Amino acid sequence: MTGLQRPKPSTTRDAVYAKLKEDIIKLELKPGMPLSENEMSAKFQVSRTPVRESFVRLAQEGLVQVLPQRGTYVSLIDPELVEEGRFMREHLERAVIRLACGHFPGDALELLENNLRQQAESVEHHDNRAMFELDEAFHKILFDGCGKSTTWAAIEQMNTHLNRSRMLRLVDNHDWLHLYEQHKKMVEAIRAHQPEVGDRLMKEHLNLNITDQAILKEKYPSYYK
């Protein structure tokens, strides 16, 4: 990317912040990587001020670390925050899928089924970025369909370290068929009004991350605290 799509002047800072956050979560900017105001302002074709302000905002969210006399770096993945994010998602998402299995709007169900078709294509083409985005979209559709959009927004704010570990898992292991099959079975449970089945599937789905973390920390020790 040579520059941002030119936003209105009042939104330049937000555009820079959003792109930096996306690049950190999707590991375009890797854990521990140094960040330069000059380089980022040249990359996004903006002044240093919105870049500096974005660094401050990302530091407040734990995604950037500012070290006096040493510089600014992408923060390492914090295993404790990964587990806290997983814990929160497990309990809220199990509750939501039980609601979805009780009643789920037809148009939202169509969105899930379309999402599954796109997931199958991502698996076939080994497109990890698309798979990550579709995985997130799948779960968001569940919350939106159950009238819990604000809850999903809160989850997103708490999930940054978990999402980086999930992205790393997708990059490290291209065997995503199991993830797709779990999502497919969840949709089947919703369609069949089987809350106990949906609950079990969601718990298994989110607990995969516990095993993944041990493997990823061993393979990528420099990425973790």
Ordered alpha helix ranges (H), 26-148: 37-44, 48-60, 79-102, 106-125, 128-145
How many C-alpha atoms does 67 have within 13 Å on its Cβ side?
A: 11
On whether the CB atoms of residues 88 and 158 are closer than 8 A, the answer is yes
* 9-74 has CATH 3.30.950.10 classification: no
- Please report, in angstroms and rounded to a whole number, the separation of the first and last CA atoms in the chain: 29
Residues of the chain with pLDDT under 50: 1-9
Distance of alpha carbon 163 from alpha carbon 13, whole angstroms: 23
Q: pTM of the entire structure? A: 0.85
At 190 the pLDDT is: 98
Please state the domain extents for the chain.
9-74, 79-223
Sheet holding 34-35, edge to edge: 34-35, 71-74, 64-67
At 10 the pLDDT is: 55
For the stretch 153-196, pLDDT in tens is 999 888 889 999 989 988 887 778 999 999 999 999 999 999 99
- What is the Cα 104 distance to its own chain's centre? 24
Helix axes 149-158, 79-102, angle to 10 degrees: 160
CATH class of 79-223: mainly alpha
The closest of 121, 115, 164 to 142, measured between CA atoms, is 115
At 1 the pLDDT is: 37
Helix axes 48-60, 37-44, angle to 10 degrees: 120
Angle, CA 213 vertex, CA 98 and CA 179 arms, to 5°? 45
Residue type, 129: R
How many C-alpha atoms does 154 have within 13 Å on its Cβ side?
A: 9
Task: Answer yes or no: same fold for 9-74 and 79-223.
Answer: no
Is residue 16 exposed (0-12), middle (13-18) or buried (19+ Cβ within 10 Å)?
buried
On whether the CB atoms of residues 51 and 16 are closer than 8 A, the answer is yes
At 20 the pLDDT is: 95
At 180 the pLDDT is: 94
DSSP letters spanning 147-205: T-HHHHHHHHHH-HHHHHHHHHHHHH----HHHHHHHHHHHHHHHTT-HHHHHHHHHHH
